[in-house]
Structure 1
Amino acid sequence: MSIRVSERSGTGGSRLTLHHGTNQSGMRDHNERVVLSLLRQHGSLAKTAIARMTGLSAQTSSIIMRMLEADELLSREEPLRGRIGQPLIPMSLNPEGAFFFGLKIGRRSADLVLIDFIGRIRSMLHMPYDYPTPEPIFSFAATGLTQMMEALTPKQRERVAGIGIAAPFELWKWADTVGAPQAVMDEWRDCDIRARVAALCSFPVYLQNDMTAACGAELVFGQTKDINDFVYFYIGSFIGGGIVINGGLYAGRSGNAGALGSMPVPGPDGTARQLIDIASITALERDVTELGRDPSPLWASPEDWGEMGVELDAWIERAGKAIAQAVIASSSVVDFEAAIIDGWMPSSVRARIVDAVRRHVETFDLEGIQLPAIFEGTVGIHARALGAASLPLSDRYLLGQKLFRKGS
């Protein structure tokens, strides 16, 4: 996507006109989003760099950045000296500019996180459980929101811009898989999650599928600045994923695009299975339990699973092969630049899975398919909670898709 900006002078001063299909009232908002999105991608930029990347004049980019600075969304950095002429003054996002809550409702635990404008976690609460039930989770959210809001200054409270919720859609269908009584899980069937959370706060509430939200976290906070199209796999209790096309999160008609866990792949015995049955952590849990060992570190210690032996090796091999098949199948539909793999696991395990995927993709017939680059995700175990918090951030302050690549 490209934009053209023209400037008109008159009694009202400089005015921006965007030839972007937006109406006149939304033009200033769009221009501010352009600047904020560029600063999020690049970290800090001077107004001359903003002007060069957008095609705006230095004067116009300066006006926009002054408005954002006046709103306390930007901060001035130390001047860059040693050049001819006036020193350049880089601008960056002000961490105190806005705050966002994220609520992750998982199949084995819930998390409530508060992040600042640059995506830094300010506080986080965690609640483990055997399976999710509505009332304890909403009680956890109510208590946590009160506790976190009270820890903020009055000015910071005024700058809370929303809460995002990341939750599996149709939770009641997962009773057998999570080992929960169907009657208990049926409580989710008529539960309006967004409305229940909205009753706890006075700011906007957003809801997204948990795996799509995790993909959004990689897009907003991860190291994907140079990648416009990627397929994303998140290995949690169950594996799922998301899709980014043209630099924007693609949720699809029902919000469930990128339901990669449902993708059919050959199982170890050659029969058709779903990816979720092979590459999910619950599959590893089952193997560990059958060997008479304690699987609790898989859920309680995502950064350190302790000593695991052949069962972990075997699961990584099976998961790597199945994900490799899913990467190839996905790439036959969309010409992705990259496949990104992350999950609720130690970074060393994630690295081994990525290595296994890279190794296995080379064993398949790739004729007619341009294989994407295969990378580790960079957000890690909190991707779903951070993805939830990214929903209000993206909606209020960022572009729907990237207009610029890093280095452009």
Structure 2
Amino acid sequence: METGTAKHSPPEPAESRFHRGTNQSGMRDHNERLVLSLVRQHGSLAKSDIARMTGLSAQTVSVIMRELEDDGLLLRQAPQRGKIGQPSIPMALNPDGAYFIGLKIGRRSAELVLIDFLGKVRAAEQLSYRYPTPRETVAFVASGMAKLRGSLDAGREKRIAGLGIAMPFELWNWVDTAGAPRQIMDEWRHRDVRTDVQALCDFPVYLQNDATSACGAELVFGQSSGLRDFVYFYIGAFAGGGIVLDGRLYSGPTGNAGALGSMLVPGPGGKQAQLIDIASVAVLEKELNAHGIEAPHLWTSPEDWGELGPTLDEWIIQAADALAHAIISATSVIDFEAAVIDGWMPVSVRGKLVDAVRKVIGSIDAEGLTVPKVHEGTVGVHARALGAASLPLSERFLIRPTMIAGGT
């Protein structure tokens, strides 16, 4: 009797199929990821729509979508009846199809988020501090991740597909700005945080610069999908940014492209200064402290800062001037169609900041340049953590937008 043949093998368990075709880098079959990317972009699609957009045969699309449905990644929607023929059945992403964890390690706080396949935050943990230490951070990840995983039942927990880390590169160089002891910050120089966190996980761990991750969150989860080329600013404890070219996050050969915080801009007294020294929330905190106002809620309550008075107004004026000049300088190198500004701040403050930037840009001599439109970011305070969580999502289930643009 023949043994071991495919026709006599038991059905493959759903959980095994979920991890089918993944290696250490988590890459799925190109066509599967293409279908998932299109469905994510459009919300829901029928097989005929996908076949038309991709050029794949109807039979191939049918097989792919059936496998993705069996994997629990796609859900059938209500049939849509046309004028003739059989009704089409759109397919949408299953929110419970996969989960991802994002870790943001910031200069004043750390954050863990658990998101579903649609990018919705299901649970979150936060830690505030004067400055980050490796030991405290890893301990926070261990305890926080246990809580996040405990919020899911056993079946859903098995669908956690990866963890992404968003943190400043060369954190040890921020001793003076962070106000931290040099020996503590030097510990980061000798620690491989990705390896430390990987030891806590049974799924892949990815690492990216924090501001670049925030930019990636805007690209994957935000409402700026119509923009193909934009420069992105994230105003956190320190200002940073990212670059999107042709619908794709550009991080450069060292992963540090879009280090906009280091850009030189006009500073106090007409002297040049780095953007980070003017348009950062840490600068606002310093000014508030100088006026006798303690403001720990800047870090613990980013959705509501309360009434901060003229100190906040003055910071907005100075930050807007610096950001406007940074945008013009960046545009002189790359012809960006837009500049997107987001940050660790209430939506109302972000709106005032963006309005102020628009006014300043209108007063700058930009002859010879096409001045980009200035947009508010649409992700908000969780952008860096969501960007971190988008790393395993993008690596394992999506393809870059430029590869699907032609078919849509």
Kindly state the Cα deviation for residue 407 of structure 1 after the two structures are TM-superposed: 9.8
CA contact (8 A) 1:240 1:276 kept: yes
Give the 3 Å change call, closer, same or farther, for CA 153–375 of structure 1 in structure 2. same
Q: Which amino acid aligns with 1:386?
A: L
Structure 1 Cα separation of the partners of residues 112 and 228 of structure 2: 29
Task: Name the residue aligned to 1:181.
Answer: 181
Q: Secondary structure at the match of 1:374?
A: strand
Task: Name the residue aligned to 1:106.
Answer: 106
Q: Secondary structure at the match of 2:112?
A: strand
Q: Secondary structure at the match of 2:214?
A: helix
Report how many residues are paired.
383
Q: Secondary structure at the match of 2:284?
A: helix
User: Which residues of 2 match residues 8-407 of structure 1 at below 5 A?
Assistant: 29-81=29-81, 83-405=83-405
If the length of structure 1 is used for normalisation, what is the TM-score?
0.90
Q: Secondary structure at the match of 1:173?
A: helix
Cα deviations by residue, 1:10-65 (Å, 9 ceiling, x for unpaired): xxxxxxxxxxxxxxxx9981111111111111111112221222223333322221
Q: Which amino acid aligns with 1:251?
A: S
Q: Which amino acid aligns with 1:109?
A: S
Give the 3 Å change call, closer, same or farther, for CA 260–27 of structure 1 in structure 2. closer
Unaligned runs of 5+ in 1: 1-25
Q: Secondary structure at the match of 2:152?
A: coil
Cα deviations by residue, 1:154-173 (Å, 9 ceiling, x for unpaired): 22222111110111111111
Cα deviations by residue, 1:230-250 (Å, 9 ceiling, x for unpaired): 111000000000011121111
Structure 1 Cα separation of the partners of residues 92 and 363 of structure 2: 46
Cα deviations by residue, 1:241-261 (Å, 9 ceiling, x for unpaired): 001112111111111110000
Q: Secondary structure at the match of 1:189?
A: helix
CA contact (8 A) 1:98 1:159 kept: yes
CA contact (8 A) 1:225 1:405 kept: no
Structure 2 Cα separation of the partners of residues 81 and 278 of structure 1: 57
Runs of 4+ that moved beyond 3 A: 404-408
Q: Which amino acid aligns with 2:318?
A: R
CA contact (8 A) 1:228 1:247 kept: yes
Q: Secondary structure at the match of 2:34?
A: helix
Give the alignment's Cα RMSD to 1 decimal: 1.7
Kindly state the Cα deviation for residue 149 of structure 1 after the two structures are TM-superposed: 2.1
CA contact (8 A) 2:101 2:112 kept: yes
Cα deviations by residue, 1:150-205 (Å, 9 ceiling, x for unpaired): 33222222211111011111111112111111111111110110110011111111
Cα deviations by residue, 1:276-307 (Å, 9 ceiling, x for unpaired): 11100111111111111122221121111101
Cα deviations by residue, 1:40-99 (Å, 9 ceiling, x for unpaired): 111111122212222233333222212211211111111123533222211111111111
Kindly state the Cα deviation for residue 387 of structure 1 after the two structures are TM-superposed: 0.7
Structure 2 Cα separation of the partners of residues 274 and 27 of structure 1: 39
Structure 2 Cα separation of the partners of residues 238 and 27 of structure 1: 34
If the length of structure 2 is used for normalisation, what is the TM-score?
0.90
Structure 1 Cα separation of the partners of residues 224 and 33 of structure 2: 19
Structure 2 Cα separation of the partners of residues 53 and 341 of structure 1: 33
Q: Secondary structure at the match of 1:402?
A: helix
Structure 2 Cα separation of the partners of residues 404 and 269 of structure 1: 49
Q: Which amino acid aligns with 1:314?
A: E
Percent sequence identity over aligned pairs: 62
Q: Secondary structure at the match of 2:127?
A: strand
CA contact (8 A) 1:41 1:406 kept: no
CA contact (8 A) 1:237 1:282 kept: yes
Give the 3 Å change call, closer, same or farther, for CA 62–304 of structure 1 in structure 2. same
Unaligned runs of 5+ in 2: 1-25
